[in-house]
Amino acid sequence: MARQLPKISIVVPVLNEAGAIENTLGNLIRDGIEVIVVDGGSSDKTLDVISRHPCKVLESAAGRACQMNKGAEAASGDILLFLHADTILPMAFESYLQSDFWLSDRSWGRFDVRLSGEHPLFRVIEWFMNNRSRLTGICTGDQAIFATRGAFEKAGGYALIPLMEDIEISKSLKKISPPFCIGTCLTTSSRRWESNGIVRTILLMWKLRLMHFAGVRGDALVKQYGRSPIPS
């Protein structure tokens, strides 16, 4: 008898993502994949774009962690994957999740990342992002974190903090198992780097991470983040 494949639920938090969400959803809508879009109060055409796709739409208070938790609560899948609205998964993502990951001894994981821009510095940034997460087990939301339902619930879901929720859930999931690192790249937008300057953005993100690890409160991080606006 054929092995029953685990069901995949993909949760996509959005807030004013009309320009990006079309391509993201177009790559996800296929048989056997549950797609849940959680809107945080968009004021642009995001909901109009989403309405053209057969996915579940939920409303939530703004905040990526809150939105992702709400999507997870509504999901029916065995595997939960959390995807940024400007990120395109590799075409064979189901196989990686339903076979390679599901049959492994790992409970969660992420994909390698490729930034969409062509500047040579982006290749360096990608290399550091991918190899740092392999060494530390700390992954970023840009890498499309996924987990079994049981592991996600055991980790307590995403911490309701305004920034660095990906770091916190990685720390919790690491206690359950090391991450399953998929070497095939997804593609995420490089817009935040391009709009604010590549080096400036690198320095800002490292500053925020160091402040977070030093125990600086979330509202103080938001103030620093707000001084150098970066698209989410």
Answer whether residue 222 shows pLDDT above 80: no
DSSP string, 120-157: HHHHHHHHHHHHHHHHH----GGG--EEEHHHHHHHTS
Report the chain's mean pLDDT, rounded to a whole number: 88
pLDDT band at 197 (very low <50, low <70, confident <90, very high): confident
Comparing 93 with 207, which gets the higher pLDDT?
Answer: 93
| Domains, the chain | 8-227 (3.90.550.10)
Answer whether residue 149 shows pLDDT above 90: yes
Rounded to two decimals, what is the model's pTM? 0.89
Tens digit of each residue's pLDDT (9 = 90 or more) over 42-76: 999 999 999 999 999 999 999 999 999 999 999 99
Helical H segments across the chain, by residue range? 21-26, 46-50, 64-74, 93-95, 120-136, 149-155, 165-174, 191-196, 198-213, 218-227
At residue 174, the 3 state secondary structure works out as: helix
